[in-house]
Structure 1
Amino acid sequence: MKNLILLFALTLIFNVSAQEEDMSNLNWLTDLEEAKLISLKEKKPILLYFTGSDWCAPCKMLKQDFFSTPKFEEKAEKMVLVMVDIPRRVDIISPEQKKINMDLVRKYNKNGSYPNLVALNAKGKVIGEISGYTFLRETDRHYAFVDSVLENY
């Protein structure tokens, strides 16, 4: 029984570590107010990423196919990134962060689409949005969206 518990604990630790390693080269914030200050200071657009990290299959695919690529990492240097995670598991984010994230969903993701990318200016005004990701795993629309935000900011 002790071995089974140990095996379960090790599996859990490995899964949490693997989640944290994904997109680790990117500086994802969780505080929009902090992102606005950085956006204003550095004259960069804000990219909100609405995800359900533990339940949304298209979110997981987009993370792998888009966010975890060198091509996106290069573009990310010109943006302020904010991850708005709405997980089902209660141990992924704190209750306080979940409340903050739900407030952001109500304000910027009213349709409840996941994954959903919303670009903002430093004042928090929406300047673009793209939602969804298909099982065809084509990222062209997402790169075009990011390029458009960067070109027009």
Structure 2
Amino acid sequence: MKRLLTLLLLVCLGTLHAQEWQESYASALDRANTTDKPIVLVFSGSDWCAPCIRLKKKILDSEEFKVYATENYVLYNADFPRKKQNQLPEDKSGVNKTLAEKYNPKGYFPLVVVLDKNESVLGETGFNPRLTPEKYISLLNKFIK
């Protein structure tokens, strides 16, 4: 019984600090408008792009980024997986392609674009393996201020 309660407590605490990646770009845009937070739009190839995988592992999945992002950003991942088992639903794939045409026409991966609530580009960056999560947050914040 104690193990069950401990496990339940850990799950609840984990969800409190989990960053919230929006399921759709429309929900990300809506959330940005209601919270007045910038959108961090990440273009990635989750199952084929090595720098994308390293960005996720080193920066986006770090505890520092998760905690900060929860309070300060609206997150959306425009993913372009290649493996058949990882394919996105057609509607989400279509939205991601439209976003790429508008914000990533050269097809850079990974590309992180910071947008304001009006969808204006504030800045963009990629992955630099020398940056820590704290320095990456600082870089993103330079675009906002």
> Does the pair score TM above 0.5?
yes
* Aligned residue among 104, 108, 114 for 1:109: 104
User: What is the Cα deviation at residue 64 of structure 1?
Assistant: 0.6
Deviation at 1:75, TM superposition (A): 1.9
The number of residues matched between the two structures is 125
Aligned mate of 1:129, from 97, 115, 124: 124
Corresponding residue to 1:143 among 112, 137, 144: 137
- Normalised by the length of structure 1, the TM-score is 0.74
Give 5+ residue unaligned stretches, structure 2: 1-16
Alignment of 1:2-151 (within 5 A): 25-77=18-70, 78-92=72-86, 93-131=88-126, 133-134=127-128, 137-140=129-132, 142-150=136-144
* RMSD of aligned Cα (Å): 1.8
The letter for the 2-side match of 1:138 is R
Q: Give unpaired runs (5+ residues) of structure 1.
A: 1-23
| One-letter amino acid matched to 2:137 | Y
Secondary structure at 1:50's aligned position in 2?
strand
- CA deviations on 1:94-127 (whole Å, 9 max, x unpaired) are 1221111111110111121111100111111111
- Please identify runs of 4+ aligned residues in structure 1 that moved more than 4 A: none
Cα distance in 2 for residues equivalent to 1:118 and 1:30: 17
| TM value normalised by structure 2 | 0.78
Q: CA deviation at 1:90?
A: 3.1
Taking every aligned residue pair, what percent have the same amino acid on both sides? 29
